[in-house]
Amino acid sequence: MKKSNKLNRREFLAAAGAAAVSMPYLIPSGVLAGPRRIGANEKITVAHIGVGGMGGHHLRDMINRRKKGQVNIAAVCDIDKNRLVNALKTAGPGVEPYHDYRYILQRKDIDAVVIATPDHWHGVQTVHAAECGKHVYVEKPACCTIEEGKAMVAAAKENNVSVQVGSQGRSQPEAYLAHRYLVNGNIGHVSRVDCFHYPSPEDNNPVPDSNPPAELDWDMWLGPLHWRPYNQRYCHGVFRWLLESGGGQIRDRGAHVMSCAMWWMGADGTGPVTVEATGTAPKKGLWDSAVLMDVTYTFKNPDWVLTWRQMPNNKLPKAEERTGKEPGGKISRPGYGAIYRGDKGEFIHWGGDGGTWAEKKARQWELPAGGKDVYKSPGHKEDWFKGIKTGAKTIMNIEAAAGVANLCVLGNLSYILGRKLEWDQANQTIVGDRQAQRMMSRPQRHPYHL
Amino acid sequence: MSTNSLKKVSLAAGAAGVMAQTASTALGQGVDGLIAGIKSSSDKVRTEAWLGAGKAGAPAVKPLAKVMTDNDLEVARAAKRALWKIVRYTGRPGANQERRAVETELVRLLGDDQPVAVRREVLWMLSEIGARRSIEAVAGLLKNEELREDARMSLERIPNRRALAALKAGFEAAPEDFKPNIAQSLRKRGEEVAGYPCKKLVPTKKTDVKPL
């Protein structure tokens, strides 16, 4: 065996090509395809991987875009047969159903994939899609481990594909207003951002392991995770409350609220120097993510502090009263957001995902002559389409998204380990803690790996 | 809401958890006390017990493993979480002696006398804190059909030369159906492997759902 630092795409293709002589079935034709160039007025052909929950929302959204002539929908894929059948009915004729997403990656007529699978699949499927030349929209949080984030960034770059991560808060109208308000110094120099969120749920209905339902491919649901018996409390949807597959509210909503913070603070591409978390564990059941968490991230050069704090509902900041005529309408999810603390005042926003609501003073503020304007997203999917067609960097590109996901990952790691962590942003590594360093990656089951 | 009041609210809400983290060890109940807490029918007592297990260290490893297969699934789960607490606590920087003692006890749980579920969990624990003394026992499980994939992943994560050597030896000895798995671990560890190209992009599962 020869020593090599890594198997890059070219070497992988060479290896696969060499193997083709004796084992041609090992070479998926799609692997050899780079991204197709798509004209400004041309339709993008998309496929959906994971069509329940948010995946169903994305499919319905894409059907609306199909009606407008923006896209073709070529395929839907799910490892739950019931969900697949339902998605097919929703999508209508001309859409091919798949159980194994890798058939989609083989198809040269498909330009882009929308990935809305459980979090533990995001990294692997994004990397695989990029290696097959597909543009990717992947649900947040981008990755479950530091290693996955690095691999996603590298795969997007090496294969020249556009990746948009589903922290769509950045594309909301009031996110633009908040961003503009903050960067123009209306509350002065901001040295602290305190994110707030209501508690994560506890598993109050634990059940023993059992056989998986007939419609579910449990082995493929697990995918990269190590094998374990099926339990109803793993899926669907509730995967979020398990540290391995979801990671609790700090990952589910942290990937939204902290995404806004990193963007508005101009901190994409930077990272904390220390991360310290404490939390309250659930008292029973399968779910193991913290019910309440208190995480402090310290940034240097420039110096600022970001916190993530979960608290009981009655302790949350009171939501602003609205008429419903504001750009973002009424605040329908007041249970999370962030307070920005500057040397001249404070600013608060609620939400941070599909609903992002900025405090009145930011909405009413008008950009003066000579003031600094900021990027205004045309919409999260539109921004992705622009990235696909022009090569422009998407608003929640994979570098930024991996950075935000790393905050969530490091917060959970500090909570799990019960100790403060030091982070080296330049080298993307934890410093001085060998166990934590090992936990920056998690070996994945064959063949569902990066 | 000010920074301080936000922090107070959050900390007060989490106070029970923080207290629980220290409760059982602070009381000096020892391993017997820990196990009694883990076996309690009270959710609160069990939770306090496993949260406080970290400092119990090596002497608690075997007794906890025994409870991991308790018929009461919440008791079994609490024992597993207690064992993980020990692993996470002893893996801290500067605690090599404690870590080695726990590692030694964990390795003893990899024998055929232990249930598969316990051994699988232990393999993952060793993937976080295992070092040279783990390798032989973990590598031995590359021959066990039920546990070989977890053993492979455990070795992949242990960053020493012995683990790499064990993977190489395991690759040579592995049956054909398992060689691609070990080949993947070897690639992750920077080795080039001839004859077993990566199959990660090869689809294998067709659907019987028909297009409309």
CB atoms within 10 A of CB A441: 18
A57 within domain boundaries: yes
The dihedrals phi and psi of A193, each to the nearest 5 degrees, come to -125, 120
The C-alpha of B144 sits at a distance from chain A's nearest C-alpha, in angstroms, of: 15
Optimal mutation site among A217, A336, A438, interface B, most CBs of chain B within 10 A: A438
Handedness of CA B161, B87, A271, A201 (dihedral sign): positive
Q: Is B24 on the interface with A (CB under 8 A)?
A: no
Q: Are residues A366 and A414 in the same domain?
A: yes
Looking at residue B113, its pLDDT comes to: 96
pLDDT confidence tier of residue A36, bands split at 50, 70 and 90: confident
User: Domain containing A28: what range?
Assistant: 9-168
Distance from CA of B60 to the nearest CA of A (A): 18
Measured distance CA(A174)–CA(B178) in Å, rounded: 53
How far is residue A32's CA from residue B148's CA, in Å, rounded to a whole number?
A: 33
Q: Are residues A66 and A32 in the same domain?
A: yes
- A386 in any annotated domain: no
Domain boundary among A168, A202, A220: A168
Name which of B88, B120, B203 is nearest A106 (Cβ-Cβ). Answer: B203
CATH number of residue A214's parent domain: 3.30.360.10
Task: Specify whether A93 is located in the same domain as A177.
Answer: no
Inter-chain Cβ pairs, chain A and chain B, closer than 8 A: 211
**Nearest chain A CA: its distance from B206 CA (Å):** 6
What integer pLDDT is reported at residue B153 of this predicted model?
A: 98
The pLDDT value given to residue A37: 84
Q: Are strands A345-351 and A356-358 parallel, antiparallel or unpaired?
A: antiparallel
Closest alpha carbon within chain A to B116: A228
CB A250 within 8 A of CB A308: yes
Q: Which of A102, A418, A446 minimises the CB distance to B180?
A: A446
Measured CA to CA, the distance from residue A42 to residue A390 in angstroms comes to: 12
Q: What is the pLDDT, as a whole number, of residue B14?
A: 43
| Surface-to-core class of residue B21, CB atoms within 10 Å of its CB (0-12 exposed, 13-18 middle, 19+ buried) | buried
Examine residue A64 and state whether it is found in any structural domain, yes or no.
Answer: yes
Residue A446 placed within a domain: no
Residues A327 and A433 in one domain: yes
Please check whether residue A393 is in contact with residue A297, taking contact to mean a CB–CB distance below 8 angstroms: no
Is A31 in Cβ contact with B157 (below 8 Å)?
Answer: no
- Report H helices in B27-160: 30-38, 43-51, 61-67, 73-90, 96-108, 116-129, 132-140, 148-157
**Position A55 in a domain:** yes
Gap between the Cα atoms of A38 and A130, Å rounded: 16
- Neighboring chain B residues of A197 at a CB cutoff of 8 Å: none
Which of A140, A168, A196 is at the close of a domain?
A168
Of A307, A353, A106, nearest in space to A96 by CA? A106
**Is A123 buried (19+), middle (13-18) or exposed (0-12) by CB count in 10 A?**
buried
- Asked whether residue A97 is assigned to any structural domain, the reply reads yes
Residues of chain B where predicted confidence (pLDDT) is lower than 70: 1-29
A314 and A219 inside one domain = yes
Torsions phi, psi for B184 (to 5 deg): -60, -45
Return the pLDDT at B29. 65
* Whether residues A81 and A98 fall in one domain: yes
CA B99 and chain centroid, separation: 14
Mark whether A113 and A46 lie in a shared domain.
yes
CA gap A418, A185 in Å, rounded: 37
Q: A6 and B153 in contact by Cβ < 8 A?
A: no
Under 8 Å between Cβ of B187 and A450: no
Looking at the structure, do residues A187 and A220 belong to the same domain, yes or no?
yes
Residue A122 in contact with residue A148, Cβ under 8 Å? yes
Pairing relationship of beta strands A274-280 and A421-424 according to DSSP bridges: antiparallel
Of B44, B200, B211, the CB nearest to A128: B200
If asked whether residues A110 and A205 sit together in one domain, one would say no
In terms of domains, do A118 and A182 share one? no
Q: Identify all chain A residues contacting B168, using CB atoms and an 8 Å cutoff.
A: 1
CATH number, residue A114: 3.40.50.720
Q: Which residue of B has its CA nearest to A217?
A: B205
Q: Is the pLDDT of residue A307 over 90?
A: yes
**Record: contact B44-A283, CB cut-off 8 A:** yes
Q: Which residues of A touch B16 (CB under 8 A)?
A: 280
Residues A187, A149, single domain; the answer is no
| Partner-chain residue, chosen from A227, A294, A449, that has the shortest CB–CB distance to B11 | A294
Q: What is the pLDDT of residues B70-111, one digit of tens each?
A: 999 999 999 999 999 999 999 999 999 999 999 999 999 999
pLDDT at position B13, please? Answer: 43
Q: What mean pLDDT do residues A134-146 have? A: 98
Prediction pTM value: 0.92
B146 touches chain A (CB under 8 A): no
pLDDT of residue A79: 98
pLDDT in tens, A91-128: 999 999 999 999 999 999 999 999 999 999 999 999 99
Residue A113 phi/psi, 5-degree rounding, is -125, 145
Last residue of a domain, one of A135, A168, A201: A168
The total number of structural domains in chain A stands at 2
The pLDDT, as a whole number, for residue A16 is 41
Q: Report helix angle B3-13 to B15-26, nearest 10.
A: 50
B17, B194, B198: residue with CB nearest A12: B198
DSSP string, A13-29: HHHHHHHHTT-GGG--G
Alpha-carbon distance of A83 to A81, in angstroms, equals 5
Partner-chain contact B211 A103, CB within 8 Å: no
In this predicted complex, what is the ipTM?
0.92
- The distance of B71 to chain A (nearest Cα, Å) reads 10
Instruction: Let me know if residue A93 belongs to a domain.
Output: yes
Closest residue in A to B156 (Cα) is: A443
CB contact under 8 Å between A18 and B197, yes or no, is yes
pLDDT (tens digit per residue) in A330-378 = 999 999 999 999 999 999 999 999 999 999 999 999 999 999 999 999 9
Q: B203 to chain A: nearest residue by CA?
A: A102
Residue A97 shares a structural domain with residue A177:
no
Q: Is B116 an interface residue toward A (CB < 8 Å)?
A: no
Q: Is A183 a member of any domain?
A: yes
